Structures are given as C-alpha cells and as structure tokens.
C-alpha cells in the first residue's frame, strides 16, 4: 500500500515579481520541485509584488519588509531605514534577553503577518536567487535578518539553488555566516558559489550543489504560442532570438554595448535567411521598463535591415515565454533565466555575461565557449559564426548536458524529502 504523505505548510520568504520573467521561473519551478517531493504541500508566498503574483498563485502576501524603500521620496527612505533598523535591533536584543513573541514587537502589519505565516510554516524557503552578495548589500542585511529570525523561531530553513557572491567584504561574510549557520540546507547553483559557502565556514554537510531550478521549466503548445504569429510574412526564414537589458549601475561595461552587439549581428546574420524576434524579459506595471526601452531601440535599428518583431509590453508567464524560445534557431541573451529557459529546450544560446552567475550556469551545461564577457563584446562575432556552422551538434550537446544536470535536482529532492515529508 502506497504511503500517504503528510500535509505540510511551506513558506517562500522572498519571491519577487513574476512581471520579470526570471522571477516567475524561480517561483514556478521552486513550487514544482517541492510538489514533486510531496504533492500534499501547501505553498505560501511572501512577495514584493502580490498583485501580479496573485494572478497565478494562491496565498500571496508581502514579505516582512514590504517593498523595502522602493518608490519612496528621500525623506520617506530615511524614515523607512531608521525605523526598520530599530525594529531589527529590537528583535535581536529580544532574542537574547526577554524572548517575547516577535509578533508583539512588530512595527507594522507587514511584519505581523509575516511572523504569523512563519509561525504556521513547517519549512521556510529562500528562492530570491542572488541576494547574498556585496553588490546588493543594502538589502542583504534585511534579508539576512529575515532568514535569521526564521531560524530562531525554530523553523527549518532551506536556501534553494542560488548564486553566492561576489562576497569579499569581511563584514558581509561574517553576517552571512552567523545569520545562516543553523540553516537546514544551503544550495549553491554553481561551483564558485559552492566554494564560497565552504570558504565562509559552513559545514560540508550543510551545503550542496544543484543546477538552477529553471531547467525544470515546462514548454507549452507551439500552435498556441507561435513565433510566426509575430511576423507578417510566413516564410522559411529561421528565427533568431535577442534579449537585451540594462545592466545594474555596479556592473561596468562599454556604454555603447547596444551598438556593438547590433553591429556584430548585422555583420554575421544574413537577412535573406534569418529574421529576428526581440524578447524583453523584464517588464513593469503601468509603464515601460528600462529593459524594454533598450530592446525597442534595438528593434528600431534592426528593422532597417531585417524582418524583425518585438514582444508586446505586457506580462508573460514562463510557459508562454519558454514556448517562444523553444522555436528559435539560436538565441543571444544578456539575462540569466531566459538563457536557462532557452537551454532547457536545447536552443543554442550565446550568453553575454555581466555577472559570474551567467558564466557559471553555462559552464554547468558545458557551454562555456559560448559566453561573451561584457568587456569583450567583439568576441560575439566568432560565437555567432560557430553557432551558424554547427547549430545541430551544439543543440544536441546542450540537450545531453541539461539532462545530466537535471539529475542534480533529483539528488537535491532526495536530500529535501525528510524536510517536506516527515
């Protein structure tokens, strides 16, 4: 007789907005990973964009720190930072002295509701992807407190596959170690991140490696989501995909990177054989994102030479987006999770890498030779030539390597089974 698995409550502490494709991939496939372990699990989300995420998911609320200081005036930011620093220090003091219920020391409804959900959860999970690094230190301290207080409340805490680093600041490494030293499991999604966790001081039994959960992404019906629907002419030209993005301020690269990329594309891609679909991956509500603006600039410049189209400025959930990617001849991307999604469908992908996490993923699947570092964009020309000359063999190699890497997620599920089932 098959054993009936216990019902469990799982709380995802730090999901972002599905209006960014990469965040939607993390949410979808983290839930999928958990549900494959135990179908009777109820997953609750704390999200910085509950409104968007409620379109698809149930049980969504704001995280402990709401939307942080986003969209606030200078004065409001100061007030937010001061009040939340006081809240954090009060909670830390309480944990080592009076040990009053954290809910009773909450300053607002976000905090009260978050503590209530943590209290009711059997397992708490982080899926944010890349909060633990020096670049995002302002938010890092608040996220680390969130994880630390969760563990102090006696909850199992699991860091799902994430990038760790760059993390060289001694103070930041000290805080990461002491906030997470009692975590149940910390999973790195690339070898550099795994080594960093070990270097910081975590026990080998406490850390693990697995490829990003995005490789589990499912594809939909190509007749429903066809790339040909984006072009007026129904011809035999193959479709090349292009995702471009604005890089964060802390990432250095050539200011004219868009022009360099487009110049190489014009040089290497024959407009009589190929057409181009531009796929922005980050959107915003009630406006145009900086990523979409850059993609639209590319669209205007490329249409002088190519048959080219661009996705609409609207919300795309991962299945629709992945279905479009699955029909490409090859793909050029500056974003990590759309790179993962394309590779999950064995689409030859050239990844323009601004952060080691992108290069780390490509190395995981044996495609490191198709990484172009941001400061060496002229190498894109050779990469495109290589793909055009050997497309099918590259696709086959990706398919085989992805299949092997997915086994690491299966191993992680075995490790996690006691957490989500017992």
CATH number at residue 247: 3.40.50.2000
Determine the Cα angle at 89 with ends 157 and 153, to 5°: 30
Domain boundary among 182, 209, 236: 209
239 shares a domain with 169: no
Whether residue 170 is found in the same domain as residue 49: yes
Residues 99 and 169 both lie in one domain: yes
Residues 6 or more apart in contact with residue 18 via CB below 8 angstroms? 24, 27, 49, 52, 53, 55, 56, 315, 317
- Are residues 53 and 79 both part of a single domain? yes
In a domain, 222, yes or no: no
> Does residue 220 sit within a domain?
no
If one counts every other C-beta atom within 10 angstroms of the C-beta of residue 154, the result is: 8
Whole-number pLDDT of residue 60 = 97
Measured between its terminal Cα atoms, the distance across the chain in Å is: 18
pLDDT value at position 5? 76
Q: How far apart are CA 84 and CA 19, in angstroms?
A: 27
- Which phi and psi angles does 14 have, rounded to 5°? -145, 45
Q: State the Cα–Cα distance between residues 34 and 161, nearest whole angstrom.
A: 13
Q: Is the same domain home to 104 and 251?
A: no
Please give the pLDDT value at position 2. 59
- 166-190: b or e for each residue (b if 16 or more CB lie within 10 Å)? ebeeeebbebbeebbeebbbbbbbb
The verdict on residue 387 lying in a domain is yes
SS3 149: helix
Q: Residue 252: pLDDT above 70?
A: no
- pTM above the 0.85 mark? yes
The residue among 77 and 422 whose pLDDT is bigger is 77
Q: Are residues 33 and 131 in the same domain?
A: yes
- Whether 192 and 322 share a structural domain: no
**Whose structure tokens read 């699990």?**
41
Which of 209, 240, 257 is where one domain is finished? 209
| Token digits of residue 105 | 């020391």
What CATH number does the domain containing 145 carry?
3.40.50
Tokens of 92: 């830390």
CB 262 within 8 A of CB 357: no
Average pLDDT, the chain: 94
253 part of a folded domain: yes
Let me know whether 240 and 306 are in one domain: yes
Asked which of 209, 241, 272 is the last residue of a domain, the reply is 209
Q: Residues 311-367: pLDDT tens digits?
A: 999 999 999 999 999 999 999 999 999 999 999 999 999 999 877 889 999 999 999
Q: For residue 332, what are the contacts with CB-CB under 8 A and spacing of at least 6?
A: 240, 241, 242, 243, 261, 265, 349, 350, 352, 380, 384
**Percent of residues, the chain, with pLDDT higher than 70:** 98
Query: Is 139 among the domain residues?
Result: yes
pLDDT at 312: 96
Confidence label for 374 from pLDDT (cuts 50, 70 and 90): confident
Q: Measuring CA to CA, which residue among 310, 303, 308, 226 is closest to residue 275?
A: 308
Average confidence (pLDDT) over 250-262 = 79
| Residue 303 pLDDT class (50, 70, 90 cuts) | very high
Same domain, 278 and 145: no
Domain containing residue 282:
227-404
284 and 375 belong to one structural domain: yes
Number of structural domains, the chain?
2
Beta strand segments in 235-360, E: 238-243, 274-278, 308-310, 330-333, 349-353
Q: Is the pLDDT at 144 greater than 90, yes or no?
A: yes
Residue 232 in any domain: the answer is: yes
* 421 is a domain residue: no
């Amino acid at each position: 007789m098959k054993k009936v698995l216990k019902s469990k409550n799982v709380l995802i502490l730090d999901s972002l907005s599905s209006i960014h494709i990469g965040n939607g991939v993390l949410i979808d496939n983290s839930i999928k990973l958990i549900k494959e372990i135990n179908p009777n699990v109820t997953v609750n989300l704390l999200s910085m964009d509950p409104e968007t995420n409620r379109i698809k998911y149930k049980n969504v609320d704001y995280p402990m720190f709401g939307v942080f200081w986003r969209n606030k005036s200078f004065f409001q930011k100061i007030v937010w930072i001061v009040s939340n620093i006081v809240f954090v220090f009060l909670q830390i003091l309480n944990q080592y002295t009076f040990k009053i219920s954290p809910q009773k020391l909450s300053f607002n409804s976000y905090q009260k509701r978050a503590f209530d959900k943590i209290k009711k959860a059997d397992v708490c999970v982080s899926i944010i992807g890349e909060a633990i690094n020096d670049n995002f230190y302002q938010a890092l301290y608040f996220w680390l407190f969130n994880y630390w207080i969760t563990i102090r409340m006696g909850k199992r805490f699991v860091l799902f596959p994430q990038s760790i680093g760059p993390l060289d600041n001694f103070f930041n490494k000290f805080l990461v170690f002491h906030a997470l030293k009692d975590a149940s499991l910390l999973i790195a999604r690339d070898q550099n991140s795994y080594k960093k966790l070990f270097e910081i001081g975590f026990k080998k039994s406490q850390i693990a490696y697995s490829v990003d959960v995005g490789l589990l992404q499912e594809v939909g019906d190509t007749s429903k989501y066809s790339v040909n629907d984006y072009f007026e002419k129904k011809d035999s030209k193959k479709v090349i995909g292009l995702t471009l993005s604005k890089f964060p301020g802390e990432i250095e690269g050539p200011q004219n990177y868009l022009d360099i990329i487009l110049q190489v594309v014009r040089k290497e891609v024959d407009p009589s054989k190929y057409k181009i679909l531009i796929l922005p991956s980050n959107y915003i509500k009630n406006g145009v994102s900086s990523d979409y603006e850059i993609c639209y600039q590319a669209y205007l410049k490329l249409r002088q030479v190519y048959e080219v189209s661009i996705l609409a400025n609207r919300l795309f959930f991962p299945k629709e987006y992945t279905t479009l990617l699955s029909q490409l001849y090859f793909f050029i991307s500056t974003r990590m999770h759309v790179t993962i999604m394309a590779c999950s469908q064995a689409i030859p992908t050239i990844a323009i890498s601004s952060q080691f996490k992108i290069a780390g993923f490509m190395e995981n699947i044996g495609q490191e030779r198709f990484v172009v570092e941001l400061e060496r964009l002229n190498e894109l020309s050779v990469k495109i030539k290589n793909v055009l000359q050997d497309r099918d063999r590259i696709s086959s190699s990706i398919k085989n390597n992805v299949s092997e890497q997915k086994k690491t997620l299966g191993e992680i599920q075995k490790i996690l089974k006691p957490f989500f089932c017992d």
